[in-house]
């Protein structure tokens, strides 16, 4: 069993910005009025946050080896995610309407961003403690354990302060909604497009703002309580 005692090093700021970019793209899927495509974008953005975390820690196995981290442990949802990868190109290019809503004020948007951020952080902390290593069934079982701990911590903690802080940060740019949708579609809605981690403009500025929000002392305190809940669930369940 891997120890869960002791402090884990904070993730690099650039990695947090990358999680924020993926979170913004995942949230932007709410504005894509195309059935299935919205779910595809959200799943791919979440996957890429996990992917970047794995690579930042030198994990070189394929993302599918730990698929449960980003699609969850519901096998029905995992099957849906796999089926969505073959969406016809003409659907990916479906035109979308113009948006006037302020991004951070839209119900559900801060929560979507928060979930990607906390998932990236959970994977980072798990790897820092020696988890998510190896291959085959043991690796898959460990991914399931980490994801279940994350899900349980989110379900059992009041995270209103973090969601509110994110909502404030994401409401600074009035043109963010349109830019976020364009970023999500160009980076996460097509198999042949590699996600951009330096999109510039409103999207990148907003991701940097999110990273700053996470350094607020009151937010740090709430996130550390979340970490403690994840650690407790993992400690109770063992490594695998």
pLDDT digits (tens, 9 = 90+) for 2-54: 444 468 889 999 999 999 999 999 999 888 877 667 788 899 999 999 999 99
Q: What is the pLDDT of residue 165?
A: 95
- 67: in domain: yes
Using the predicted structure, report yes or no on whether residue 179 has a pLDDT greater than 60. Answer: yes
Q: Taking a C-beta distance cutoff of 8 angstroms, is the pair 145, 240 a contact?
A: yes
Using the predicted structure, report yes or no on whether residue 91 has a pLDDT greater than 80. Answer: no
- 7: in domain: no
- 240: in domain: no
Of 77-91, 177-191, 194-208, minimum mean pLDDT range = 77-91
For 190-227, how does the pLDDT look when each residue is reduced to its tens digit (9 = 90+)? 766 788 889 999 999 999 999 999 999 999 999 999 99
Q: Taking a C-beta distance cutoff of 8 angstroms, is the pair 166, 113 a contact?
A: yes
- 4: in domain: no
Half-sphere exposure for 162 (CA within 13 Å, toward CB): 23
Q: Residue 89 sits in which domain range?
A: 13-234
Using the predicted structure, report yes or no on whether residue 85 has a pLDDT greater than 50. Answer: yes
Mean pLDDT across the chain, nearest whole number? 85
- 1: in domain: no
Q: What is the pLDDT of residue 192?
A: 66
Residue 60 DSSP one-character state? -
Q: What is the distance between the alpha carbons of residues 28 and 22, in angstroms, rounded to a whole number?
A: 10
- 217: in domain: yes
Q: What is the distance between the alpha carbons of residues 177 and 203, in angstroms, rounded to a whole number?
A: 9
Q: How many domains does the chain have?
A: 1
Q: What is the pLDDT of residue 82?
A: 54
Residue 69 neighbours by CB distance under 10 Å: 29
Task: Provide the residue count of the chain.
Answer: 240
- 3: in domain: no
Using the predicted structure, report yes or no on whether residue 1 has a pLDDT greater than 80. Answer: no
Q: What is the pLDDT of residue 171?
A: 87
- 76: in domain: yes
């Amino acid at each position: 069993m891997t120890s869960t005692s002791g402090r884990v090093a904070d993730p690099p700021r650039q990695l947090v910005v990358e999680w924020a970019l993926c979170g913004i793209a995942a949230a932007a899927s709410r504005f894509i009025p195309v059935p299935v495509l919205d779910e595809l974008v959200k799943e791919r953005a979440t996957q890429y946050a996990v992917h970047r975390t794995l690579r930042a820690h030198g994990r070189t196995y394929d993302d599918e080896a730990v698929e449960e981290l980003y699609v969850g442990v519901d096998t029905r949802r995992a099957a849906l995610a796999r089926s969505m990868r073959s969406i016809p190109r003409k659907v990916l290019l479906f035109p979308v309407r113009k948006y006037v809503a302020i991004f951070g004020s839209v119900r559900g948007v801060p929560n979507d961003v928060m979930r990607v951020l906390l998932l990236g952080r959970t994977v980072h902390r798990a790897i820092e403690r020696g988890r998510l290593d190896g291959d085959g069934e043991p690796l898959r079982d460990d991914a399931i354990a980490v994801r279940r701990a994350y899900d349980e911590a989110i379900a059992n903690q009041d995270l209103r302060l973090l969601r509110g802080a994110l909502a404030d940060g994401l409401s600074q740019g009035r043109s963010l909604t349109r830019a976020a949708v364009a970023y999500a579609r160009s980076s996460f809605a097509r198999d042949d497009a590699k996600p951009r981690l330096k999109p510039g403009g409103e999207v990148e500025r907003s991701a940097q703002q999110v990273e700053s929000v996470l350094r607020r002392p009151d937010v740090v305190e709430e996130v550390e309580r979340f970490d403690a809940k994840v650690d407790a669930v993992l400690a109770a369940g063992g490594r695998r």
